Amino acid sequence: MFLKNREFAEAYNDLYPVVFGAVYSKVGNPEDAQDICQELFVKLYEKLETIENRRKWLYGALRLEVMAYYRKKKPDGVDIDEVFADVGLTFVNGFRDARIVISGAIEHDENFEDERERALFDLVAVQNYSYEEAGMQLGMSKRQVRYRYGLIVERILAYLQKQGIKSLEDLL
């Protein structure tokens, strides 16, 4: 049990803030986000050995939990597509293609060395954490966060260049 707990604790440390932030952005209430996260991580613990990509699994389970939350809280209905604005279905200022390419770069596994880098990216780039706060969540110094985040961005930009986007500035 110690080995399983150990593995779970290390995964939890990196993924909890990311998942919490993602749930919070959907429900807008920290207490509810906390309850949903608890459900999600209990389920993750139970299936820990069988899940290959914990982040992806958590994001999938998160959608179901959030939908269940809305069914319970707002039985009169809510537009779930609005809650989970899907990149493939949404036009943003007419730059649909660019958005899809950037989304692909963000999801491309080779742009991240490990799951911790992925968590770091989600915290800083998506959830707007400062380097310092992200470091405190992940057990890294501010300098380490800044350095690793810079490397990730370089990799993503290189990937985008390969996809034909020579300069991001042209899109801004």
Partner 1 sequence: MNGSVSVFSRAMERFRFVEPVPPEVQRHIRRVKRREFLKILRRAGAYSTLFAIVSSVFFTLKKLGVSITIAKAAMLIGVSALLLFGGAASSVYYAVRALTAPDSEIRVQSEESGQSVASSQALVSNATAPTAAADPPELVERRFGVQGFTAANVDPATAARVSGMVASELAKLKGGERVIRGASKDRKAGMLVLGSVEELGGAYDVTARVVSVKDGRILFYSSETAGSAAELDGAAVRLSRKIAAGIR
Is residue 138 at the binding interface for partner 1, with CB under 8 A as the rule? yes
Nearest residue to 58 (alpha-carbon basis) of 94, 97, 8: 8
Rounded Cα gap, residues 115 and 97, in angstroms: 27
Residue 168 makes contact with partner 1 by CB under 8 A: yes
- Considering the rule CB under 8 A, would residue 111 count as an interface residue with partner 1? no
Interface with partner 1, residue 142, by CB under 8 A: yes
* Pick from 57, 58, 62: nearest CA to 25: 62
Q: Which is nearer to partner 1, 76 or 86 (CB)?
A: 86
Distance of CA 82 to the CA centre of its chain: 18
Return the amino acid letter for 128. N
Under the binding rule (CB under 8 A), the answer on residue 9 touching partner 1 is yes
* Residue closer to partner 1, measured from CB, 61 or 102: 102
Neighbours of 162 (CB within 10 A): 9
169 lies in the binding site for partner 1 (CB under 8 A): yes
Our finding on whether 57 is near partner 1 (CB under 8 A) is no
Q: Exactly one of 45, 57, 59, 70 binds partner 1 (CB under 8 A); which one?
A: 45
